[in-house]
Amino acid sequence: MPSPAQAVVGDAVANGSHTFTAKLDIGEGDSQRSCTGSLVDAQWILTASSCFAAAGQPSFPVPNGAPALKTTATIGRTDLTDTAGKVVEVTELVSRTDRDLVMAKLAQPVVGIAPVPLADSAPVAGESLRALGYGRTATSWVPDRLHGGSVAVSATGATTVAVTRDGGAICKGDAGGPALREQDGKVLLAAVHSASWQAGCFGSDETRGDAVETRTDDIVDWVTQVRGLPKDPRVASGDFNGDGKEDIAAFYNNGAGPDGKNRSSLFAFYSDGTGFAEPKRVWASTGSFNGAAAKLTSGDYNGDGKDDLSVLYNSGQAADGKHVTTVFTYTSNGTGFAAPKQTWASSGSFDWSKSKPVSGDYNGDGKDDLAVLYNGGQANDGKHVSLAFTFTSTGSDFNNPTTAWTSSGSFDWSKSKPVSGDYNGDGKDDLAVLYNGGQANDGKHVSLAFTFTSGGSDFNNPTTAWTSTGSFNWEKSKPVSGDFGGDGKDDLAVLYDSGQTSDGKRVSTLFAFTSNGTGFAAPKQTWASTGSFNWDVSLPTSGDYNKDGKDDLGVLYEGSTTADGRRLDSLFTFTSTATGTKAPVLHWSGSVV
């Protein structure tokens, strides 16, 4: 049988060409091995699954999820002794089940390097393909640059392509390298190296020049799906159909499509009082809309009794260097949402990356407004400056922001998690911030809750509504706001990461901070997980899902990945009893694609 084929005998590739080719280093120390791959998306590499197969295990499929061994990808570096390109860690694998292929996700997108497009027709007998790889050549055991050579197609099967030497040879060193077709002035990925007899390779006396490539032309849809899988969702609650029961919305980032446009989608989980219907896709972008540049919030912005959604969007920088931020609103029509409408755009510089948006009726006029906690940098004396801006709703759009509060002492935006609610029951929503107070001398973590009560046109200076006494770690806290006791005053709840048990189970805890009108009572533990419940993949939100007058907690839980790469999510609710919380109920588990 041929050995795993992982490199190319041929000519050195010119510097700066075929920069989409990636060198993969898998494992560390004496057990490290190398492979080659192709950048097919800013954050995904297509390569051979056999690169990641454990000794004695089949070449495919390999387990989905994080690679078993630490893996790094060097992309855009034709000469490995150079410093060009990027070196990025691989964080996730999505394997094909029918052939020697895997998609490897990078920890960060690679910018400035164009991915290689996939061919849409199979290689045919007699066709010449150009094979690339970083592995062994005819004269070098471990070369330090990318090489390329020609191979001839002899036959095409359902999932594989048989090739023979045609000036190049595929050798040990880097499986998963690309076999390229030149067509109409473009370079297309036609196949991926899978196995070879190693003829012509350094240290080999084999004379058989045959090799096997894995077809990629018929898996274009799969690659598109994997690289555009819903990811990084944002969640918000609201009564989107006006039936008195609050629902849950999830805004997903679907990555870049084959045309390079960023894609996003919006799903709604409608409550029937006892559970939720399966998610309904209520919007999908047609033009480019980048989910990674969107911060979601919800409110009834036109006062029609149905909650809407707004997205604070990063529109980049203008030619003069000013940061451009935009607000898009998705108005509910009762059964879905209208296409997003631009309801505000910055004129001066407004930096999205320094903005944390929330929604509430801050002036008590029956229409929800936007508020943004903003990072104002540092003053000359080193004090951190934070500001609160309010964007009052006109019913059809938002007025330009007014400065509703500016810190006088040091107030660090990066240590602030804002939420919104009517904490004193006066009919106007206020701002609350869970704040990181650092560590005390005894090592205990200090957290604080500040409330900024609304005066109708601005926010009063913050009052300290709670300070932790025992250790309470801000970094392990996800706050939400709601009237969990049903007394007309909104409270705080925090989903808290309580670590792991000795058997490896993840422990999450729910704390309630009940409002007394002027501050918050000390947190009361209302739930602690018994089975494993992973805080890291939990996205909390709150609303009155059963119409009993008390707000409940909802959690969109990021689950595992299916064999074909689809993401599995789950929706849980924790029903409030006014004095505590019932155990979570699973309402839905599945994939939105």
Question: What's the first-to-final CA gap in the chain, in angstroms?
Answer: 39
- Among 40, 10, 25, 272, CA closest to 133: 10
Domain final residue, candidates 224, 256, 285:
224
Omega before residue 523 within 30° of 0, cis = no
Task: Return d(Cα 273, Cα 479) in angstroms, integer.
Answer: 24
- Among 82, 84, 204, 192, CA closest to 139: 204
Tokens of 166: 């045609």
Task: Return d(Cα 562, Cα 254) in angstroms, integer.
Answer: 17
Rounded to the nearest angstrom, the gap between the alpha carbon of residue 484 and the centroid of all alpha carbons in its chain is: 30
User: For residues 4 and 64, is the Cβ–Cβ distance under 8 A?
Assistant: no
Per-residue pLDDT of the chain (593 residues; tens, 9 = 90+): 344 333 344 467 888 889 999 999 999 887 788 899 999 988 899 999 999 999 888 889 998 888 999 999 999 998 888 888 999 999 989 899 899 999 999 988 888 899 999 999 999 999 999 999 887 543 444 567 888 888 899 999 999 999 987 665 566 655 799 999 999 889 999 999 998 766 556 555 655 668 899 999 999 878 877 776 677 799 999 999 999 999 999 999 887 665 667 889 999 999 999 999 999 999 989 889 999 999 999 999 999 999 999 999 999 999 999 999 999 999 999 999 999 999 999 999 999 999 999 999 999 999 999 999 999 999 999 999 999 999 999 999 999 999 999 999 999 999 999 999 999 999 999 999 999 999 999 999 999 999 999 999 999 999 999 999 999 999 999 999 999 999 999 999 999 999 999 999 999 999 999 999 999 999 999 999 999 999 999 999 999 999 999 999 999 998 776 655 567 899 999 999 999 999 999 999 988 86
- Among 462, 290, 249, 300, CA closest to 373: 462
Task: Return d(Cα 133, Cα 172) in angstroms, integer.
Answer: 10
User: For residues 190 and 167, is the Cβ–Cβ distance under 8 A?
Assistant: no
Residues 304 and 372 both lie in one domain:
yes
Task: Return d(Cα 498, Cα 523) in angstroms, integer.
Answer: 15
Q: What is the CATH number of the domain that holds 89?
A: 2.40.10.120
User: For residues 179 and 131, is the Cβ–Cβ distance under 8 A?
Assistant: yes
Q: What is the pTM of this model?
A: 0.71
Residues 168 and 244 both lie in one domain:
no
Q: Which domain holds residue 459?
A: 228-590
For the chain, what is the domain count? 2
Tokens of 212: 């096997």
Task: Return d(Cα 238, Cα 306) in angstroms, integer.
Answer: 8
Cα angle 220-223-226, degrees, rounded to a multiple of 5? 150
Q: What is the CATH number of the domain that holds 515?
A: 2.120.10.70
β-strands 128-133, 178-183 pairing? antiparallel
Residues 452 and 556 both lie in one domain:
yes
Task: Return d(Cα 244, Cα 312) in angstroms, integer.
Answer: 26
Instruction: Label residues 540-550 b or e (16+ Cβ within 10 Å = b).
Output: bbbbbbbeeeb
In a domain, 3, yes or no: no
Domain final residue, candidates 171, 195, 224:
224
Domain final residue, candidates 177, 192, 224:
224
